[in-house]
Amino acid sequence: MALKLSFLAMILFLLLASIAKAHPSVFDVTSATYGAKPGSDVSKALAKAWSDACASPLASKVVVPSGTYKLKEATFKGPCKAPIEMQVRGTLQAPANAGQLTRPDTWVGFQYIDMLTLSGGGTFDGQGALAWGQNDCHKNKNCKPIPINLRFEFITNSRVQDITSLNSKNFHMHVFRCNHTTFQHLTITAPDESINTDGIHIGASTGINITHAKIGTGDDCVSIGDDSHQITVTDVTCGPGHGISIGSLGRYKEEKDVTGIIVKNCTLTNTQNGVRIKTWPDSPSPSTASDIHYEDIIMVNVSNPILIDQLYCPYTRCDQKPSSKVKINNVSFKNIKGSSFTPLAVKLVCSRGVPCENVELAGINLTYGGDQGPLTSLCSNVKPTITGMIKALGCATSSLAPLPLSKK
C-alpha cells in the first residue's frame, strides 16, 4: 500500500511539474507587485518584472497589458535561467527628446538572451519626429548617435513576432551578433521623409529569418551588413523606403564576408530601390558578398528595381577614387516582375578592380510607362548569364557611362 501511495505521489509530482512547465509564470507590470499604470513611466516596474522573470527557474512571461505607457528607456539583459517571453499588448512611448536617454544610441535593448520571445500585438512608439529634423547622418559620417527603437545583441534561438515599431528616431530594429532568430508578423512604420529609419538592419549574425512583415520607412526596409550569413527574407511588403539592401559594404577595415542571402516572395511599392547590393569605392580591405539570390519579387513603380552599385558614395564625390575591393560572386535575380518608375530598370555597376562573377538574370519582366526614354538596362564589369527576358532588360548598355552619385 505504501509503495502504491509513493508511486501515486510521484505521478502527481510529475503532473504538477508538467503543468508548471506548460504554463509559464506571469509577471504583470500592472500587478500590485510592480505598480505600473497607464499614462505613467513604467521603466522601473518593467525593469523589476524582467529581473524577477529572468531569475525564474521556470519559463516566464513579462506582460504589459493594453494601454499607453511612458518608457524612458530599458535594457533587458540575460542570460536568463529559462525561456522568457515579453508580451507587450499596449503601447510603449519613448521620450520625444532623445537627450533624455542615458544610452544615446538605444531606446529598448535586449542582450545575451537564449530562447527569448517578444510578442503581444503591442507597439513601440519611438516618437521620432523631433529627431528626424536633427539627423544629419545621411550627409555627415561623424554624426551624433541617435536612438534605435529596438536593439537585439547576442540573442539566440529566439522569436520577435506580432509587434509594431512606430516612428523610430533611427533604425527600427538593429540585429547584431544574433543567431537562429526569426522576425515574423511585424509592422514597421515611419513616414517617407524620416531619415535613416531602416526597418531591420542585420550585422554579424547567422541564421536570421524575416518573414510576413509589412515595412514602410524613410530608408531601407531591410539592410544586411558585413559578417552576415544564412539570412532569409520572405513575404515582406516594402514601401515607402529605399528597398531591400545588402550593404553598404566595404567602408571599414577588416569587414567580413556576407554569404547565403535569400530574398523571395516580396513586394516593393513606390520605393527608391528594389533589390540592391551596394559597396563603397576605395575599400580599405578586401571582402566578398556571395551566394545571394532574389526570386519571385514584384516591383510596383520602383525607381531602381534591380541594382548592383559598387560606386556607392553618399557623402562626397568618389568617381575618381580606386574601385571597390568587395568581390560580388554567385548572385541571381529570377522571376522579378512589375513596373519601374525610371527607364533604367536593371543597373549592374560592378567594381573595375574585382568584377562581379557568376551573376544570373532570368525571367525579368519589368515595364516602364513614363516619358523619359525607352526601357533599358546597364551592365559594367560584369557578364551575366541572361535567359527569358527581352533585350532591353539584358544589359542593353554594357559600357559605363557617367552615372549620378548614389544616395541613400
pLDDT of residue 21: 45
The pLDDT of residue 319 is above 70:
no
Average pLDDT over residues 335-339: 98
Q: What is the mean pLDDT of residues 22-28?
A: 82
pLDDT tens column, 102-142: 999 999 999 999 999 999 999 999 999 999 988 877 677 77
Residue 237 C-alpha cell reads as: 511588403
CB 331 within 8 A of CB 356: yes
Coil vs helix vs strand at 343: coil
Catalytic-residue membership of 242: yes
| pLDDT value at residue 144 | 85
Is the predicted pLDDT of residue 16 greater than 50, yes or no?
no
**C-alpha to C-alpha distance for 339 and 303, rounded to whole angstroms:** 9
Q: Tens digits of per-residue pLDDT, 34-59?
A: 999 999 999 999 999 999 999 999 99
Q: What's the pLDDT at 383?
A: 96
Catalytic hit among 185, 212, 242, 293? 242
pTM for the predicted model, two decimal places: 0.92
Rounded to whole angstroms, how far apart are CA atoms 269 and 367?
14
Band the pLDDT of 23: cuts 50, 70, 90: low
Mean pLDDT to the nearest integer, 232-249: 98
DSSP at 251 = S
Cα 289 from Cα 287, distance rounded (Å): 7
Lowest mean pLDDT among 87-91, 387-391, 402-406: 402-406
> How high does pLDDT run on average in the chain?
92
Could you give the domains of the chain?
A: 24-133+146-393 (2.160.20.10)
- pLDDT tens for 157-204 read 999 999 999 999 999 999 999 999 999 999 999 999 999 999 999 999
- As a whole number of angstroms, the distance between CA 402 and CA 393 comes to 19
Q: How many C-beta neighbours within 10 Å does residue 364 have? A: 23
CA 202/CA 153 separation, integer angstroms: 10
Give alpha helix (H) positions in 135-272.
Answer: none
pLDDT bucket at 317, cuts 50 / 70 / 90: low
- Whole-number pLDDT of residue 143: 79
Answer whether residue 358 shows pLDDT above 50. Answer: yes
